[in-house]
């Protein structure tokens, strides 16, 4: 019988963006194996309804369970906003979202108590980031803005070009007017645009990428449940996508800094 601590960590996102979380988990916990599911056939999630996001998320958790994952990280902010509580009630394993870690980090970092949130339309409408920030510090002024074009730009690999910069200037103009000093990247795709976002907002504004905070919470949960992998060998990750793997493999290799060997396609029936 395999020691449960040697089972993989499941991570899912609507597409490429959750690799930001995989990268931080691998950096902090290099011996852990990750099974990553990118729902590339149905990206983006940010314009879809709550019932649809819950249905998609249920389907993906069931797929990850077939790989005997010991915990699930919902690396998609939209799914974390709309489906996380349902998943926690319906599945008997640790499930972690990305909103609480990002909100906590922003509250720690802000100096003038003006925090901006950029996210998908569904995440902004859910109000989960605003609620969490105000639970932690009700004096913080929060400005939210939906940036629906950022996800397709990332999925196309347009991380840093003139069109992306022009769109970012348009989306972030209101944030600059409000003089925010901290900007939450409320979608796991957005850290891939960090260079553009930093150039547009300027060095005074701190960008909050929740991926590193999520990795820390993953370690804490694994220690709590005594499931931290003790093997001295680096974990071999498996990547599953719901559409053509070639584009994903190319962009994932570029982002993770090396070739990725194990990419499978899942076809919904």
pLDDT in tens, 149-158: 999 999 888 9
Check whether residue 142 and residue 201 sit in a common domain: yes
Q: Are 217 and 92 contained in the same domain?
A: yes
User: HEC states along the chain?
Assistant: CCCHHHCCEEEEECCCCCHHHHHHHHHHCCCCCEEEEECCCCCCCCCCCHHHHHHHHHHHHHHHHCCCCCEEEECCHHHHHHCHHHHHHHCCCCEECCHHHHHHHHHHHCCCCEEEEEECHHHHHHCHHHHHHHHHCCCCEEEEEECCCHHHHHHCCCCCCHHHHHHHHHHHHHHHHCCCCEEEEECCCHHHHHHHHHHHHCCCCEEECCHHHHHHHHHHHHHHCCCCCCCCCCCCCEEEECCCHHHHHHHHHHHHCCCCCCEEECCCC
Q: Give the total number of structural domains in the chain.
A: 2
pLDDT score at 2: 67
Q: Determine the structural domain holding residue 37 and report its residue range.
A: 4-98+212-265
* CATH number of the domain encompassing residue 181: 3.40.50.1860
36 and 94 within one domain: yes
Same domain, 82 and 122: no
Q: What is the pLDDT of residues 84-134, one digit of tens each?
A: 999 999 999 999 999 999 999 999 999 999 999 999 999 999 999 999 999
147 flagged as catalytic? no
Q: Are residues 17 and 31 in the same domain?
A: yes
User: What local confidence, expressed as pLDDT, does residue 235 receive?
Assistant: 67
Rounded-to-integer distance, Cα 209 and Cα 190, Å:
8
Is residue 127 domain-shared with residue 204, that is, in the same domain? Answer: yes
In whole angstroms, how far apart are CA 201 and each of 25, 142, 189? 28, 16, 18
Q: Give mean pLDDT in consecutive 10-residue pieces for the chain, a chain of 269 residues.
A: 84 93 93 95 93 97 97 96 97 96 96 97 94 96 96 90 96 96 95 95 95 93 92 80 90 77 84
Which member of 187, 192, 196, 200 is catalytic?
A: 187
One of 63, 69, 74, 76 is an active-site residue; which one? 76
Same domain, 197 and 127: yes
Domain boundary among 165, 186, 210: 210
Q: Are residues 17 and 41 in the same domain?
A: yes
Residue 205 and residue 231 in contact, taking contact as beta carbons nearer than 8 Å: no
Do 171 and 240 fall into the same domain?
no
Residues 125 and 205 in one domain: yes
Same domain flag for 104 and 197: yes
Please say if 76 is a catalytic residue: yes
């Amino acid at each position: 019988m395999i020691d449960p601590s040697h089972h993989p960590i499941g991570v899912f996102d609507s597409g490429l963006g959750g690799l930001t979380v995989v990268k931080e988990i691998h950096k902090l916990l290099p011996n852990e194996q990750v099974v990553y599911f990118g729902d590339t056939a149905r990206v983006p999630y940010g314009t879809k309804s709550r019932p649809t996001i819950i249905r998609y998320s249920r389907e993906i958790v069931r797929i990850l369970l077939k790989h005997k994952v010991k915990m699930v990280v919902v690396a998609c902010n939209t799914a974390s906003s709309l489906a996380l509580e349902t998943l926690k009630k319906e599945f008997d394993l640790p499930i972690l979202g990305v909103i609480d870690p990002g909100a906590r980090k922003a509250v720690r970092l802000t100096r003038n108590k003006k925090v901006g949130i950029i996210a998908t339309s569904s995440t902004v409408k859910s109000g989960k980031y605003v609620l969490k920030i105000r639970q932690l510090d009700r004096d913080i002024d929060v400005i939210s803005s939906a940036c629906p074009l950022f996800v397709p730009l990332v999925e196309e690999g347009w991380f840093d070009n003139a069109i992306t910069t022009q769109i970012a200037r348009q989306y972030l103009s209101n944030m600059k007017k409000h003089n925010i000093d901290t900007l939450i990247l409320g979608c796991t795709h957005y850290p891939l645009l960090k260079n553009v976002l930093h150039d547009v907002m300027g060095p005074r504004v701190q960008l909050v990428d929740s991926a590193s905070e999520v990795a820390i919470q993953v370690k804490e949960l694994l220690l709590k449940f005594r499931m931290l992998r003790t093997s001295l060998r680096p974990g071999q990750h498996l990547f599953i996508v719901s559409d053509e793997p070639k584009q994903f493999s190319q962009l994932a290799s570029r982002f993770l800094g090396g070739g990725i060997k194990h990419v499978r396609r899942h076809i919904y029936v």
